């Protein structure tokens, strides 16, 4: 049982293929339950219809476990929050409807959270926390952006991908090699025993702080097709080196753009967010650059890099402080311009 004046927020995240629920009490994360969905593996990517059906199966046990782990009952809640988007519509609808149901039945304030902003708010779960202004490279399966944060709620996107996201570049090149979805963690794993300079892949020359990854996927596809004509076992024999070379291309491209963003903005509090920030080479190299250039670098704990409801709860905590509540009549999924 929590004291009456505690702020107890339930957060629900269902934007893609992870069903997650978290309890945050007075800004402290007390539970973070994540159920991932095996069902997509054999399709090489997330199948939206299957994702929303799996969310429907998972949502009750996941929320129940989040409450129990935090030692909280539904009557103790002060507010309910959920991911408003961006994300897959059918998946978002499951979390949104569930949150709205609790809000309506318990007469609790409802807080809609932007998924992208929430990834960045993962930095405010544990210590040390960045000071503002804060520059964050947000790299996930759906987004690749450089975001300048002036406060917990003011964010400006100063660079973005013009086509695929960095996570897609990992996943799609992995798929070309016959690896299951999601390929990012597997490329990271095999790359550990490979030579990152063995094969050279081009990166796209898009101006300023923007990114493009679609060319890399095509380059890897043609390179492997040609190599397999010479040796049908080329991928199996060279898997570690291919993975290391792809990872090196993506990571060095991301960090080159981040360095440019620091030069242009003068902001030296620099961090990573989103699923790809779980990548060991990206994490290691950001820390190295930070030491060389005297940046203060911030990387969330692994569990808060990929999709999770703790980051939604953290964003909701600050929205609650600002009184940013949603009407039950409001459009649940506004269109985001970024
Ligand atoms: O943030 P997230 O869980 O979901 C989205 O909002 O998209 O990010 C998922 C992405 C996937 O593309 C996955 O392959 C990638 O993050 N990812 C990684 C690693 N772990 C997850 N990519 C590279 N290396 C990793 N260790
Ligand atoms: Zn995400």
The pLDDT of residue 338? 45
Q: Which ligand is nearest to the CA of 184?
A: 1
Of 34-48, 135-149, 162-176, 192-206, the range with the lowest mean pLDDT is 34-48
Which residues in the chain belong to E strands, given as ranges? 8-13, 18-25, 28-36, 79-85, 110-114, 134-139, 144-149, 155-160, 269-273, 296-298
Q: How far is CA 44 from the centre of its chain?
A: 19
The first and second tokens of residue 217, run together, are 């996927």
The first and second tokens of residue 150, run together, are 């002036």
Where is pLDDT greater, at 336 or 234? 234
Where is pLDDT greater, at 327 or 158? 158
What are the residues whose beta carbon lies below 5 Å from ligand 2 (ion)? Answer: 140, 307
CA distance 186 to 164: 19
CA distance 245 to 241: 6
Mutate to test the pocket of ligand 1, among 254, 276, 307, 309 (most ligand atoms within 8 A of CB): 276
Specify whether the CB–CB gap between 238 and 232 falls below 8 A. Answer: no
CA distance 308 to 317: 15
CA of 140 to the centre of ligand 1 (A): 5
Residue nearest to atom 14 of ligand 1 (CA): 184
Angle between the N-to-C axes of helices 166-176 and 214-230, in degrees from 0 to 180, rounded to the nearest 10 = 20
The pLDDT of residue 326? 81
Angle between the N-to-C axes of helices 183-191 and 234-265, in degrees from 0 to 180, rounded to the nearest 10 = 100
Q: What is the pLDDT of residues 272-324, one digit of tens each?
A: 999 999 999 999 999 999 999 999 999 999 999 999 999 999 999 999 988 88
Ligand 1: atom nearest CA of 182 is: 14
Ligand 1 site residues (CB inside 6 A) read 16, 140-142, 167, 170-171, 182-185, 188, 274-276, 278-279, 306-307
The arithmetic mean of pLDDT across residues 234-252, rounded, is 98
Residue nearest to atom 10 of ligand 1 (CA): 141
Q: What is the pLDDT of residues 150-207, one digit of tens each?
A: 998 889 999 999 999 999 999 999 999 999 989 999 999 999 999 999 999 988 888 8
Specify whether the CB–CB gap between 272 and 167 falls below 8 A. Answer: no
The pLDDT of residue 186? 97
Ligand 1: atom nearest CA of 167 is: 12
Q: Which ligand is nearest to the CA of 171?
A: 1
CA of 184 to the centre of ligand 1 (A): 6
Q: Domains in the chain, ordered, with CATH?
A: 8-120+305-321 (3.30.420.40), 128-299 (3.30.420.40)
Mutate to test the pocket of ligand 1, among 18, 275, 300, 305 (most ligand atoms within 8 A of CB): 275
Which residues in 68-154 belong to E strands, given as ranges? 79-85, 110-114, 134-139, 144-149
CA distance 308 to 216: 29
């Amino acid at each position: 049982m929590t004291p009456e004046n505690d702020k107890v927020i339930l957060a629900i995240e269902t934007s893609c293929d992870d069903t997650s629920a978290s309890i945050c009490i007075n800004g402290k994360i007390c539970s973070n339950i994540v159920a991932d969905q095996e069902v997509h593996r054999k399709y090489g990517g997330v199948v939206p219809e299957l994702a929303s059906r799996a969310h429907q199966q998972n949502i009750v046990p996941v929320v129940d476990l989040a409450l129990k782990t935090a030692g909280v009952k539904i009557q103790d809640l002060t507010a309910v929050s959920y991911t408003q988007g961006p994300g897959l519509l059918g998946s978002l609808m499951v979390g949104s409807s569930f949150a709205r149901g609790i809000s309506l039945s318990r007469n609790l304030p409802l807080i809609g959270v932007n998924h992208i902003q929430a990834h960045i708010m993962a930095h405010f779960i544990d210590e040390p926390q960045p000071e503002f202004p804060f520059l964050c490279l947000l790299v996930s399966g759906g987004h690749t952006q450089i975001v300048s944060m002036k406060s917990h709620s003011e964010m400006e996107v100063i660079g973005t991908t013009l086509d695929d996201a960095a996570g897609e570049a990992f996943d799609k090149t992995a798929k070309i090699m016959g690896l299951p979805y999601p390929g990012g963690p597997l490329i990271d794993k095999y790359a550990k025993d490979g030579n990152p300079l063995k094969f050279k892949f081009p990166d796209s020359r898009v101006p300023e702080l923007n990114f493009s990854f679609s060319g890399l996927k095509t380059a890897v596809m043609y390179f492997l097709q040609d190599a397999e004509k010479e040796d049908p076992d080329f991928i199996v024999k060279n898997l570690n080196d291919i993975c290391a070379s792809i990872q090196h291309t993506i990571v060095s491209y991301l960090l080159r753009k981040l360095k440019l963003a620091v030069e242009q903005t003068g902001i030296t509090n620099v961090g990573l967010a989103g699923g790809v920030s779980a990548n060991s080479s990206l994490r290691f190299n950001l820390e190295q650059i930070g030491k060389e250039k005297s940046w203060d670098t911030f990387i969330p704990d692994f569990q808060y890099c990929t999709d999770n409801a703790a980051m939604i709860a953290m964003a909701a905590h600050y929205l609650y402080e600002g009184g940013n509540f949603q009407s039950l009549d409001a459009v649940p999924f506004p269109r985001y311009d970024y």
